[in-house]
Structure 1
């Protein structure tokens, strides 16, 4: 099966069809039929989520606090769907004159205690906001402790879920974009990264997994407490927990300098173990490729991991512990593109986070293009172009620079990937990959906006890419190009005149033209198109039998 044609349209949320896990006929379907079924399935399921996202548009400058650490304790009672939580949040004030702080926190919990620097204090808790008045001057850093219990409300894709499968509980979370506050109080915007300690208490038969490294496991009667800790800052939407009857296995990843060996850890339910060993096997190879291409795996002193969860529409790049839908784990490697995409997020989205949700294409477009890059590394340039062709569509709705509520649309994922593909064509491989490496190094463990990426690209390439990004980031649509040509003989040479007309908006772009003389012989010319109407001529010794524009597929373009 041509796996490059199996790439999907909305990879993060739209990567799962139960069909592949249980249909005997799926193994005989053509790549085109698989893509058709996926596309229908994804589009139908996207409608379920179209209007649920009311993401927080605050930026770093809009908040009064800077969170330094989250110290979280979750006592899980799946049978009762009861969560008992303790959140100790260390923060500093951005403005010493402020007289209150606000934390995002869904208001369906019962608060059983609230302390500020060890003292009881009044608070307001309403409309999913916990407001804490500040009486007097605070020290440079303060700690607010919130104790609460209740059943978490669902939000977004999931929020917090007491799930079950085959009569076994599986507790999991999925908080993107700003639903971490459905299960703990926080400053729920991506730009406010913090360090994390998280303790998860559950029945002693359960394995509980979270971000970072496992510090210890302690017995507490007939229960166990797993303590995980991050060494690198993390955004709230990437904080997660999973707790179930997991079995685990692991791979080793050796760092590029061969100084560190890091575990890649896998947690699945027993019935998925054999399938997971097949489906997850390529992760070390994928990680090495990305490390060589962009820079070392950013969380090398922690881990990478994959945990099975029950959100059946895809996967989620929780920092160092990706959640993967149980129906993805089929043992047939149909969804290798998903594992590539989620691992790529650890560079693009986790290490380099978005400054706001308007910058989400820097997460999803980058990770979607990484699928094509990996397949290219394994199977050559043809795999790059076939993967990108599977992400093509004539009409991408909305614009990348302001996706509004369409955070998880094909525009963000696939047009975002096409922007990188065309940037590569614009500046060449050397400058393109140098730009990505420079961008990664500059913003690793912090956050970036689209303008930051453009600035890095301008600096590395030594040019001005304003026109390129304006036409692809700030506009709808694509190149609509009509062309005609004629060839005639003059002085024993062939003159080919080509007329180009852009039918809609003017785009400026380098265009490759193939003169095909026969099945084995061609010439390739590169020109720059910068006018609504353009005429060019070429002189060749042999008469071309065919003139083909953009023969390989570098441009998001409709040719007529």
Structure 2
């Protein structure tokens, strides 16, 4: 048989075998992946469980880091944020908070399904194995969200997005982060953060954290990128975005890098006054360390904007944001810096634990900028007949009254517990409390203080924190 004939016979045989195989495959029923019914899926809660803000945050995971990248064009933001988290339960679906419109989401690099209602972003992940949850409890996973919009178009109350001319500032409490990046937006879930902000070359972009770099955009001509790093876990409301014409002062003080930023929209004399005031930050931090222990972050700073905030200051991590009308106030400077410990590092379990943020930070300002005994007398005796002043309770003020009496009745109660405990026990207790990290509750503070003294403080805290009338002027209530 010739080589040519042998070749054609072999080729014919292969063709016959291939046809038989294809016919066999065609006769078998097609295999498909059966969708997992919702009843068999594991969903994280839409809300972390806060009684005052039930929709805030999401359950089933613990965020470790936010990597935020945004481009700013006027008041419009275009962003991509990658969240690294650990699942605290099996998850097929979880919830983030985002007020801007989301366009796409992926989990561990694979496309996921999003459903956005208001500022709630539900993320559904497809199982690769129908019998196994998409994300197993204990697993580390990433979620990347693409989004865009203008924060000024969002009806957030109280307001957290401000503008003045070409200046845009997003900052506020309890809600502000979700106006520029997706988050588990609740103080119970602290995380480290990296912010990369792309702006035109003649514009500054200021954020929380340490300034890591400021470089030209390698792709887009006429734009620059500012990168900021928060390298110790903090809460989402302790972040901000400031974009505009800012006068910057940078350097190192007492071994810590600093960046002070002041709006160039302010008159020159006001700019100089604001920078002179901000330069008091290193000395203020050093003074606070006497009472609160070592400073918890790697950098310091501050920002004074031109916009009209409705508050005096915000405890942004490493860089408090101050109302221009508060410039020169020693008490404001110490209060916001005290939050680096009390609020930004020792965080809240629920918003009704606000006493351990604001009352303690206010008292730290009393210690460093005022006379605590005199302030106590002004409040306790001066407001004796004002019954409405002594309500609601400090332990459960309600969402509408969170940021009211905690600034005056709050530190008054702290001064009273100092008198009741004595200075040695009190200051030891305060420093030990401030040197913790992570979420804590008001009940834990009560237990912490009670354990630091042989005195039984149960009745004291009932009168000062749970009561809605002025505590009686007794030794047990810490009234000298």
| Same fold? TM cut 0.5 | yes
Deviation, structure 1 residue 177: 0.8
Does the 8 Å contact 1:58/1:189 carry over to 2? no
Instruction: Give the equivalent residue in structure 2 for 1:492.
Output: none
1:209-242: CA deviation from partner (whole Å, max 9, x where unpaired): 1122112112121111101111100111112111
Distance 1:318 1:156 in 2: 19
Distance 2:361 2:401 in 1: 15
Q: How does 1:290-369 map to 2 (within 5 A)?
A: 290-299=288-297, 301-313=298-310, 314-329=312-327, 333=328, 335-369=329-363
Distance 1:55 1:203 in 2: 40
Q: Does the residue aligned with 2:316 lie in a helix, a strand or coil? A: coil
Deviates more, 1:365-374 or 1:277-286: 277-286
Does the 8 Å contact 1:156/1:175 carry over to 2? no
Q: Does the residue aligned with 2:169 lie in a helix, a strand or coil? A: strand
Instruction: Give the equivalent residue in structure 2 for 1:172.
Output: 169
Q: Does the residue aligned with 1:230 lie in a helix, a strand or coil? A: strand
Deviation, structure 1 residue 391: 4.2
Distance 2:378 2:281 in 1: 23
Could you tell me which of 471, 477, 491 is aligned with 2:469?
A: 477
Relative to 1, partners in 2 of residues 1:59 and 1:355: Cα closer, same or farther, differing over 3 Å?
A: farther
Does the 8 Å contact 2:56/2:185 carry over to 1? no
Does the 8 Å contact 1:66/1:94 carry over to 2? yes
Q: Does the residue aligned with 1:123 lie in a helix, a strand or coil? A: strand
Q: How does 1:366-515 map to 2 (within 5 A)?
A: 366-376=360-370, 383-392=371-380, 393=383, 394=386, 395-441=389-435, 443-444=436-437, 446-479=438-471, 509-510=474-475
Gap runs ≥5 in structure 1: 1-53, 255-260, 377-382, 482-508, 511-527, 530-553
Could you tell me which of 35, 60, 65 is aligned with 1:64?
A: 60
Does the 8 Å contact 1:251/1:284 carry over to 2? no
Gap runs ≥5 in structure 2: 1-50, 128-133
Instruction: Give the equivalent residue in structure 2 for 1:276.
Output: 274
Instruction: Give the equivalent residue in structure 1 for 2:95.
Output: 102
Relative to 1, partners in 2 of residues 1:247 and 1:439: Cα closer, same or farther, differing over 3 Å?
A: same
Distance 2:227 2:234 in 1: 16
Q: Does the residue aligned with 1:279 lie in a helix, a strand or coil? A: helix
Distance 1:204 1:467 in 2: 60
Instruction: Give the equivalent residue in structure 1 for 2:121.
Output: 130
Deviation, structure 1 residue 196: 0.6
Distance 1:250 1:296 in 2: 22
Deviation, structure 1 residue 59: 9.0
Q: How does 1:82-121 map to 2 (within 5 A)?
A: 82-96=76-90, 98-106=91-99, 109=101, 111-121=102-112
Q: Does the residue aligned with 2:305 lie in a helix, a strand or coil? A: strand
Does the 8 Å contact 1:104/1:188 carry over to 2? yes
Does the 8 Å contact 2:96/2:183 carry over to 1? yes
Does the 8 Å contact 2:98/2:182 carry over to 1? yes
Q: How does 1:204-243 map to 2 (within 5 A)?
A: 204-220=201-217, 221-243=221-243
Q: Does the residue aligned with 2:287 lie in a helix, a strand or coil? A: helix
1:478-516: CA deviation from partner (whole Å, max 9, x where unpaired): 1356xxxxxxxxxxxxxxxxxxxxxxxxxxx41xxxxxx
Relative to 1, partners in 2 of residues 1:265 and 1:447: Cα closer, same or farther, differing over 3 Å?
A: same
Deviation, structure 1 residue 323: 0.7
Distance 2:479 2:180 in 1: 44
Relative to 1, partners in 2 of residues 1:59 and 1:222: Cα closer, same or farther, differing over 3 Å?
A: closer
Deviation, structure 1 residue 118: 1.4
Deviation, structure 1 residue 55: 5.2
Deviation, structure 1 residue 341: 1.1
Deviation, structure 1 residue 274: 1.3
1:247-275: CA deviation from partner (whole Å, max 9, x where unpaired): 12257542xxxxxx113331002333211
- Say whether 1:75 aligns with 2:71: yes
C-alpha RMSD over aligned residues: 2.4
Distance 2:472 2:455 in 1: 26
Distance 1:133 1:346 in 2: 36
Q: Does the residue aligned with 1:406 lie in a helix, a strand or coil? A: helix
Does the 8 Å contact 2:61/2:87 carry over to 1? yes
Higher strand share goes to which structure?
1
Deviation, structure 1 residue 281: 4.0
Distance 1:311 1:56 in 2: 26
Distance 2:56 2:169 in 1: 28
Does the 8 Å contact 1:56/1:178 carry over to 2? no
Deviation, structure 1 residue 156: 3.1
Instruction: Give the equivalent residue in structure 2 for 1:195.
Output: 192
Distance 1:213 1:281 in 2: 17
Distance 1:304 1:298 in 2: 14
Deviation, structure 1 residue 276: 1.3
1:52-79: CA deviation from partner (whole Å, max 9, x where unpaired): xx9524799x71111111111111111x
Q: Does the residue aligned with 2:469 lie in a helix, a strand or coil? A: coil
Deviation, structure 1 residue 113: 2.2
Q: Does the residue aligned with 1:124 lie in a helix, a strand or coil? A: strand
- Say whether 1:156 aligns with 2:187: no
Aligned length: 407
Distance 2:249 2:428 in 1: 36
